[in-house]
Amino acid sequence: MLFDRLRTYLAFVRFSHTVFALPFALVGALLASRLVPMTWARLAWIVAAMVAARSAAMSFNRLVDARYDALNPRTAQREIPRGAMSVREAAVFLVVASLAFLGVCAQISRLCLLLAPVALGIVFWYSLAKRVTWATQFFLGLAMAVAPVGGWIASGGGPSWQPVLLALAIGTWVGGFDVLYACQDLDFDRAHGLRSIPVRFGVPKSISISRGLHVLTIASLAALGIVAGLGAVYHGGVALVAALLVFEQSLVSATDLSQVKRAFDMNGWVGLLYLATTGLSIYVS
């Protein structure tokens, strides 16, 4: 019974999707650790902060979107619409996750605690953006861009272009694949007055926007390697990430969206690959 409940909570916040933001937060921490020595305790707090923030963001998303999720055949089996979790239970989870995030940030530094409410406001806003603006996917990118900046600040990094370039990379990467993902819901969103890049520009132009964003992703990662003085191992990793994104984009076209889920799932490997090659580059150097 306890195991089943835990599985429901993990599914509720899509815990497996932590591989999107967490690797970039850790890269931000790794880059800062070249300037300020990293401790295992601080690293553990950074991971805990990321998990708590993402859990809060996902539970907020599921709560505010519960009505739309119940109407959309693609999302009708999510935990709240199908009754696996009550609205009250989800609200309690949201409060606990948010308080946990604030508590963890307090353990890291005073600056992190002061910035924590701002971070929560950014990640919560994404879930509301589609009600008021077509730039929804850009706001998801912004929400995810908080991760590497947070990792950098939590590690004691000061003013630098490195976290900015890393934030730009993850923001355009996530925005790019979310544009593809949103193409699936074009008809539903139009029928219910929800806004997105596909609703505003249509599927063909949206795919072009997605590809342009992913070009910016690779350019930002390459620029970061130059600014941070990272070596050949790092740039080899960027080349592998570029190859993955090219393959991801090849799976989707304006006339065939059947492979969107497959393309989306490939992104889990992007963050892990990037973290591995960046870590190797730093420690080998």
DSSP string computed for 208-225: HHHHHHHHHHHHHHHHHH
Across the range 267-274, mean pLDDT stands at 88
Question: Is residue 19 scored above 90 in pLDDT?
Answer: no
Across the range 158-184, mean pLDDT stands at 93
Q: Residue 184 and residue 70: Cα distance in Å, rounded? A: 16
Query: What is the model's pLDDT at position 110?
Result: 93
Residue 35 vs residues 139, 187, 231, 261: alpha-carbon distances, Å: 30, 50, 17, 40
Across the range 56-82, mean pLDDT stands at 89
Query: What is the model's pLDDT at position 238?
Result: 96
- What is the average pLDDT score of the chain? 90
Would you put residue 229 in left (φ > 0), alpha (ψ -120 to 50) or beta? Answer: left
Query: What is the model's pLDDT at position 13?
Result: 67
Provide the CATH topology of domain 2-284. Answer: Tetracycline Repressor; domain 2 (1.10.357)
The answer to which of 21-25, 89-93, 124-128, 218-222 has the lowest mean pLDDT is 21-25
Q: Residues 29-40, buried b or exposed e (16+ Cβ, 10 A)?
A: bbbbbbeeeeee
Virtual torsion, Cα 106, 107, 109, 113, nearest 10 deg = -20
Q: Residue 24 and residue 39: Cα distance in Å, rounded? A: 18
Question: Is residue 243 scored above 70 in pLDDT?
Answer: yes
Token pair for 219: 């350019």
| R_g over Cα of the chain | 19
Residue 278 vs residues 158, 173, 183, 271: alpha-carbon distances, Å: 20, 17, 32, 10
Question: Is residue 11 scored above 80 in pLDDT?
Answer: no
Query: What is the model's pLDDT at position 265?
Result: 84
Backbone angles phi, psi at 63, to 5 degrees: -70, -50
Across the range 244-273, mean pLDDT stands at 90
pTM of the model: 0.90
Question: Is residue 17 scored above 70 in pLDDT?
Answer: no
Residue 271 vs residues 58, 83, 173: alpha-carbon distances, Å: 19, 33, 10
Across the range 136-141, mean pLDDT stands at 93
